[in-house]
Amino acid sequence: MRVETAAEALSILADNDIIWCQSMAATPYKLLEGLAEIAPSRKNMTLLQLHTEHSEMLGDAALSGHLRQRAFFVGKSTREAVSEGLADYVPIFLSEIPKLFRSGEQHLDAVLIQVSAPDAHGNCSLGISVEATRAALQVAKKVIAWVNPKMPRTHGDSFVHMSRIDRYFELAQDLPLHQRPQQSKTTLRIGERVAELINDGDCLQMGIGAIPDATLGCLTHHRDLGIHTEMFSDGVLPLVTSGVINNSRKRKHRGRIVTTFAMGSQELYDFVDDNPQVAFLDVEYTNDTAVIRQNKQVMAINSALQVDLTGQVCADSIGTKVYSGVGGQMDFVRGASLSEGGRSVIALPATAAGGQISRISAMLAPGAGVVTTRAHVHYVVTEYGVANLRARSLTERAEALIHIAAPQFREQLARDACDDWGLRVKI
Ligand code: COA
């Protein structure tokens, strides 16, 4: 049924409803604004989400008892609420979230989506973010939509028929853009080092941000690269245009880019619009290690907040402060390792806080969350070099990691390796 406003569309939500919200750059933020309006008249609703955008108002303490957010990935909109105890963080692999819904382990009453205008057959598209929303649509009783004619019509698992939507309102609005990050000397150097580890014919997974973009910028002379990822951004566009990324050596989905969401500029959104070369698939599938491993030479490139001298990778918290989430890092690190000729990289700047803190540290900060374990980690890259930790002893790892730490921290790290871990390292 078509209605005029977001609040009217949301009127079918009831006390105690558990709601899933489509996430990332496709966050139906107009519906979330409406949700903040109607929440005071409801009790005990829960909003499950991955990483919503423009939804800071849902962290307002005044909504306590009415609506509580439960984030499978924490971002700008939820970080403060989580750290103040006003919202919850659920650590989980991205690939597992749809399973929770489909198995009924996580009950859902409603789902909020932002979709393209329907085609001639009544199919709308979830556009630039399919992730766990397809699974949510398969189980939730109530479907509430913002139909945005500016949402790209993407191919893959993205289609939702109008008959599945209970209430919708229409509003044409440009998608919020994620401009390309500024490159610093550090990220450019890291990008160069990561690019040196990439071979012709590799099938890439990489996330958003300055390091992936810097890496992609160094691949102009590579050949026959493929993409099977959970997300991609603008950095791939020039490589698709020049034919460096042609997906020709993929065993799975040959000739197509596979992803579950995309985030970037309007140019990126125009590229994925009605483009069958890009398949937006369910994250239970894209991030399934059994699928990832079917491509050979999978190269997974991810980042971290801190790495200890044994190779434990913290990526979701700064000490006890939750910063982000587990996401698909482990799905792809493990999937890459299982693939024939596969490798993985954790790339991070050597320092934080203007050079005051070494991100390579003897031990993780108390409370830091290990996302990639020391048994899974392969290459760690900083602006100072590459440490190959695979099948290396603790002593060899500590030596390799100290060599890629910022020079001013190396002596102290070597002393700590001995004092804390009993490792006699040579630097
Ligand atoms: N101590 C203190 N502060 C630290 C720190 C440390 N060890 N490490 C990082 N920081 C600070 C940085 O200085 C930066 O602060 P600023 O925003 O004030 O500049 C902030 O924390 C974020 O660090 P940054 O390196 O800019 O993070 P990022 O945006 O590149 O994201 C991850 C890195 C690890 C958080 C991100 O890749 C992630 O969430 N990964 C987990 C999920 C995943 O890998 N998914 C698959 C790919 S989508």
Please give the pLDDT value at position 209: 79
Residue 93 near ligand 1, beta carbon < 6 Å: no
Mean pLDDT in residue range 201-211: 90
SS3 state of residue 257: strand
- pLDDT at residue 208 tops 80: no
CB atoms inside a 10 Å sphere around CB 374: 17
Q: Which protein residue's CA is at the shortest distance from atom 29 of ligand 1?
A: 209
- pLDDT at residue 179 tops 90: no
Please give the pLDDT value at position 365: 97
Ligand 1 centroid, distance to 96 Cα (angstroms): 23
Residue 95 near ligand 1, beta carbon < 6 Å: no
Q: Which protein residue's CA is at the shortest distance from atom 9 of ligand 1?
A: 305
User: What burial class does residue 187 get, using C-beta atoms within 10 Å of its C-beta: 0-12 exposed, 13-18 middle, 19+ buried?
Assistant: buried
- pLDDT at residue 194 tops 90: yes
The mean of the pLDDT values for the chain is 97
Mean pLDDT in residue range 127-142: 98
Confidence band, pLDDT 50/70/90 cuts, at residue 138: very high
Ligand 1 centroid, distance to 305 Cα (angstroms): 5
CA-nearest of 28, 280, 6 to 131 is: 280
Q: Which protein residue's CA is at the shortest distance from atom 18 of ligand 1?
A: 353
Tokens matching residue 132:
């766990």
Of 46-55, 194-203, 218-227, 382-391, the poorest mean pLDDT is in 46-55
Kindly state the percentage of the chain with pLDDT values over 70: 100
- pLDDT at residue 359 tops 80: yes
Mean pLDDT in residue range 197-203: 98
- Report whether 293 contacts 250 (CB < 8 A): no
**230 is an active site residue:** yes
Mean pLDDT in residue range 42-52: 96
Please give the pLDDT value at position 207: 78
pLDDT digits (tens, 9 = 90+) for 224-244: 999 999 999 999 999 999 999
Ligand 1 centroid, distance to 366 Cα (angstroms): 17
What is the pTM for the complete model shown? 0.96
222/101 Cα distance (integer angstroms):
40
Q: Which helix (H) or strand (E) holds 33?
A: helix 29-38
Tokens matching residue 111:
């789902």
pLDDT digits (tens, 9 = 90+) for 397-406: 999 999 999 9
Of 44-48, 53-57, 377-381, the poorest mean pLDDT is in 53-57
* Amino acid at site 103: S
Mean pLDDT in residue range 90-97: 98
26/272 Cα distance (integer angstroms):
13
Measured CA distances, 351 to 128, 290, 307, 308, 356 (Å): 33, 35, 11, 13, 7
pLDDT digits (tens, 9 = 90+) for 103-132: 999 999 999 999 999 999 999 999 999 999
Please give the pLDDT value at position 182: 85
CA-nearest of 184, 401, 182, 196 to 301 is: 196
Confidence band, pLDDT 50/70/90 cuts, at residue 187: very high
Please give the pLDDT value at position 67: 98
- pLDDT at residue 427 tops 90: no
Query: Quick one: CA torsion of 358, 359, 361, 366, rounded to 10 degrees?
Result: 110
